[in-house]
Amino acid sequence: MTRTNLLLLAAVLALTILPLLLPVTGGLDEPFAGADGQAEAAILAGHPAYEPWFAPLWEPPSGEIESLLFALQAALGAGLLGYYLGLRRGQGTGRTAGGRPDRTTDVRD
C-alpha cells in the first residue's frame, strides 16, 4: 500500500512539474497566470461596458500577505488531516500491540 501511494505521489509530482519544463508558455504575456483572472479578462473583452457592482470587503494588501493566507489555509487543512491519520494509526498500533491494554487506553494523550 505504501509503495502504491509513493508511486501515485510520484505521478502527482510529475504532472505538476511537467508544465514547468515544457515550452507551453511560449508567447504568453504572463506565464502561469491564474485561470480566475483570465476568465475575468475574457468577460471584459466580450463585455467592455460591464462594471463589477460590488468590491471585496477586504483585500490582502500585498502579494506577500496573500501568500501568507494561502499558506495558512493549506497548513490548517494539512495539519488537521495529518492529525487525524496519525491519531488513527496510533490507535491501530496500540490495539494490535496486544498484552499492553494500558497503552490502548492512553494512546489518545
Partner 1 sequence: MHIMEGFLPPIHAAAWTAVAVPFLVVGARRVVTLTREQPQTRLLLASAGAFAFVLSALKIPSVTGSCSHPTGTGLGAILFGPSVMAVLGAIVLLFQALLLAHGGLTTLGANIVAMAVVGPWVAYGVFRLTRSLGGALTIAVFLAAMLGDLATYLMTSIQLALAFPDPTSGILGALTKFGGVFALTQIPLAVIEGLLTVIVVNLLTQYSRDDLDALAFAHGGAK
Q: Work out how close the CB of 63 gets to partner 1 at its nearest, in angstroms, rounded to a whole number.
A: 11
Q: CA separation (Å) from 106 to 17, 20, 92, 95?
A: 43, 48, 13, 11
Residues that bind partner 1 (CB under 8 A): 1, 4-5, 8-9, 11-12, 15-16, 18-20, 22, 24-25, 28, 31-36, 38-40, 42-43, 46-47, 50, 52-60, 66, 69-71, 73-74, 76-81, 84-85, 87-89, 92
Q: Work out how close the CB of 5 gets to partner 1 at its nearest, in angstroms, rounded to a whole number.
A: 5
Q: Work out how close the CB of 14 gets to partner 1 at its nearest, in angstroms, rounded to a whole number.
A: 10
The owner of cell 479578462 is 41
Q: Using CB atoms within 10 A of its CB, is residue 30 exposed (0-12), middle (13-18) or buried (19+)?
A: exposed
